[in-house]
Amino acid sequence: MARDGRGRGAAGPKPRIQGVALAVAAVFLVLGVLGFVPGVTTGYDHLTFAGHHSGAKLLGLFQVSVLHNVLHLLFGLLGLVMARRLGGARLFLAGGGVAYLGLWLYGFAIDRESVANFVPLNDADNWLHLGLGFGMLALGLLLSNDAGTGGRLDTPFDRP
Protein backbone atom coordinates (compact mmCIF):
# COMPACT_ATOMS: atom_id res chain seq x y z
CA MET A 1 0.00 0.00 0.00
CA ALA A 2 1.31 3.43 -0.93
CA ARG A 3 2.06 5.75 1.95
CA ASP A 4 2.41 9.46 2.06
CA GLY A 5 5.13 11.33 3.92
CA ARG A 6 3.24 11.11 7.23
CA GLY A 7 2.82 7.35 7.21
CA ARG A 8 -0.85 7.37 6.23
CA GLY A 9 -2.11 4.93 3.67
CA ALA A 10 -3.27 6.22 0.30
CA ALA A 11 -6.87 5.86 1.46
CA GLY A 12 -6.21 7.63 4.78
CA PRO A 13 -8.04 10.69 6.02
CA LYS A 14 -8.14 13.77 3.81
CA PRO A 15 -6.02 16.75 4.82
CA ARG A 16 -7.79 19.42 6.87
CA ILE A 17 -7.69 21.92 4.04
CA GLN A 18 -9.96 19.69 1.95
CA GLY A 19 -12.45 19.35 4.80
CA VAL A 20 -12.45 23.11 5.35
CA ALA A 21 -12.94 23.76 1.62
CA LEU A 22 -15.88 21.32 1.61
CA ALA A 23 -17.41 23.09 4.62
CA VAL A 24 -17.01 26.54 3.02
CA ALA A 25 -18.53 25.23 -0.23
CA ALA A 26 -21.46 23.75 1.70
CA VAL A 27 -22.10 27.10 3.41
CA PHE A 28 -22.28 28.82 0.02
CA LEU A 29 -24.72 26.18 -1.23
CA VAL A 30 -26.93 26.61 1.84
CA LEU A 31 -26.88 30.41 1.51
CA GLY A 32 -27.74 30.14 -2.18
CA VAL A 33 -30.75 27.96 -1.39
CA LEU A 34 -31.86 30.09 1.58
CA GLY A 35 -31.88 33.15 -0.66
CA PHE A 36 -34.90 31.58 -2.40
CA VAL A 37 -36.79 30.77 0.82
CA PRO A 38 -39.49 33.26 1.80
CA GLY A 39 -39.25 34.14 5.48
CA VAL A 40 -35.51 33.54 5.61
CA THR A 41 -35.30 36.13 2.85
CA THR A 42 -37.32 39.19 3.83
CA GLY A 43 -39.01 41.19 1.09
CA TYR A 44 -39.13 38.04 -1.01
CA ASP A 45 -41.89 39.51 -3.16
CA HIS A 46 -39.40 42.25 -4.16
CA LEU A 47 -36.75 39.75 -5.35
CA THR A 48 -35.59 40.72 -8.84
CA PHE A 49 -33.34 38.84 -11.23
CA ALA A 50 -30.49 41.34 -10.91
CA GLY A 51 -29.78 44.96 -10.12
CA HIS A 52 -29.82 47.31 -7.19
CA HIS A 53 -33.63 47.54 -7.18
CA SER A 54 -34.02 44.10 -5.56
CA GLY A 55 -35.68 44.65 -2.21
CA ALA A 56 -35.07 41.11 -0.92
CA LYS A 57 -32.66 40.64 1.98
CA LEU A 58 -31.25 37.34 3.18
CA LEU A 59 -31.75 37.15 6.96
CA GLY A 60 -33.16 40.68 6.71
CA LEU A 61 -29.63 42.05 6.27
CA PHE A 62 -27.88 41.06 3.03
CA GLN A 63 -29.39 42.37 -0.21
CA VAL A 64 -29.88 39.53 -2.69
CA SER A 65 -31.27 38.88 -6.14
CA VAL A 66 -31.83 35.76 -8.19
CA LEU A 67 -28.43 36.32 -9.81
CA HIS A 68 -26.76 36.77 -6.40
CA ASN A 69 -28.28 33.50 -5.14
CA VAL A 70 -27.34 31.61 -8.31
CA LEU A 71 -23.75 32.87 -7.99
CA HIS A 72 -23.64 31.53 -4.41
CA LEU A 73 -24.91 28.16 -5.64
CA LEU A 74 -22.38 28.01 -8.49
CA PHE A 75 -19.51 29.04 -6.20
CA GLY A 76 -20.54 26.32 -3.73
CA LEU A 77 -20.66 23.69 -6.49
CA LEU A 78 -17.27 24.82 -7.75
CA GLY A 79 -15.91 24.43 -4.22
CA LEU A 80 -17.29 20.89 -3.93
CA VAL A 81 -15.55 19.90 -7.15
CA MET A 82 -12.27 21.63 -6.35
CA ALA A 83 -12.11 20.28 -2.78
CA ARG A 84 -11.75 16.75 -4.15
CA ARG A 85 -8.05 17.47 -4.72
CA LEU A 86 -5.56 19.01 -2.36
CA GLY A 87 -4.37 21.69 -4.75
CA GLY A 88 -7.95 22.44 -5.78
CA ALA A 89 -9.03 22.93 -2.17
CA ARG A 90 -6.19 25.34 -1.60
CA LEU A 91 -6.95 27.21 -4.82
CA PHE A 92 -10.68 27.39 -3.99
CA LEU A 93 -9.98 28.92 -0.59
CA ALA A 94 -7.11 31.25 -1.51
CA GLY A 95 -8.44 32.19 -4.95
CA GLY A 96 -11.96 32.62 -3.59
CA GLY A 97 -10.55 34.82 -0.85
CA VAL A 98 -8.84 37.03 -3.41
CA ALA A 99 -12.05 37.16 -5.46
CA TYR A 100 -14.09 38.20 -2.41
CA LEU A 101 -11.56 40.89 -1.52
CA GLY A 102 -11.92 42.15 -5.10
CA LEU A 103 -15.71 42.09 -4.73
CA TRP A 104 -15.37 44.06 -1.48
CA LEU A 105 -13.33 46.74 -3.27
CA TYR A 106 -15.83 46.77 -6.13
CA GLY A 107 -18.70 47.21 -3.67
CA PHE A 108 -17.09 50.32 -2.24
CA ALA A 109 -16.04 51.77 -5.59
CA ILE A 110 -19.42 51.67 -7.33
CA ASP A 111 -22.36 53.99 -6.98
CA ARG A 112 -25.00 51.80 -5.31
CA GLU A 113 -27.78 53.37 -7.38
CA SER A 114 -26.08 52.77 -10.74
CA VAL A 115 -26.38 49.87 -13.15
CA ALA A 116 -22.88 48.82 -12.02
CA ASN A 117 -24.52 47.44 -8.85
CA PHE A 118 -25.99 44.52 -10.78
CA VAL A 119 -25.35 41.78 -8.18
CA PRO A 120 -26.71 43.77 -5.84
CA LEU A 121 -24.48 44.84 -2.95
CA ASN A 122 -25.21 46.81 0.23
CA ASP A 123 -23.08 47.75 3.27
CA ALA A 124 -23.73 44.43 5.02
CA ASP A 125 -22.66 42.54 1.88
CA ASN A 126 -19.48 44.60 1.63
CA TRP A 127 -18.41 43.90 5.22
CA LEU A 128 -19.25 40.22 4.82
CA HIS A 129 -17.16 40.09 1.63
CA LEU A 130 -14.24 41.64 3.50
CA GLY A 131 -14.46 39.00 6.23
CA LEU A 132 -14.91 36.16 3.74
CA GLY A 133 -12.02 37.41 1.64
CA PHE A 134 -9.52 37.56 4.49
CA GLY A 135 -10.84 34.39 6.10
CA MET A 136 -10.74 32.25 2.97
CA LEU A 137 -7.36 33.65 1.92
CA ALA A 138 -5.87 32.92 5.34
CA LEU A 139 -7.30 29.39 5.36
CA GLY A 140 -6.06 28.71 1.85
CA LEU A 141 -2.54 29.96 2.54
CA LEU A 142 -1.96 28.93 6.14
CA LEU A 143 -3.88 25.70 6.66
CA SER A 144 -1.71 22.69 5.87
CA ASN A 145 1.40 24.62 4.91
CA ASP A 146 2.95 21.48 3.42
CA ALA A 147 -0.17 20.53 1.48
CA GLY A 148 -1.06 21.62 -2.01
CA THR A 149 2.28 23.22 -2.77
CA GLY A 150 3.11 21.06 -5.77
CA GLY A 151 5.37 18.60 -3.97
CA ARG A 152 5.69 15.03 -5.15
CA LEU A 153 2.67 13.88 -3.12
CA ASP A 154 0.29 16.31 -4.78
CA THR A 155 -1.80 15.66 -7.85
CA PRO A 156 -2.75 18.84 -9.68
CA PHE A 157 -6.44 19.67 -9.17
CA ASP A 158 -7.17 19.49 -12.90
CA ARG A 159 -5.84 15.94 -13.38
CA PRO A 160 -7.20 12.64 -12.05
pLDDT at 2 exceeding the cut of 50: no
Neighbouring CB atoms inside 10 A of 137's CB total 19
pTM, two decimals, is: 0.79
Residue 150 confidence class, pLDDT cut points 50, 70, 90: low
Least confident interval from 75-79, 138-142, 155-159: 155-159
How much is the pLDDT for 145?
A: 56
Question: From start to end of the chain, where are the E strands?
Answer: 41-42, 57-58, 62-63
The domains of the chain are located at 16-142
> CA dihedral defined by 106, 107, 109, 112, rounded to 10 degrees?
130
Residues 85-104 have pLDDT tens digits of 989 999 999 999 999 999 99
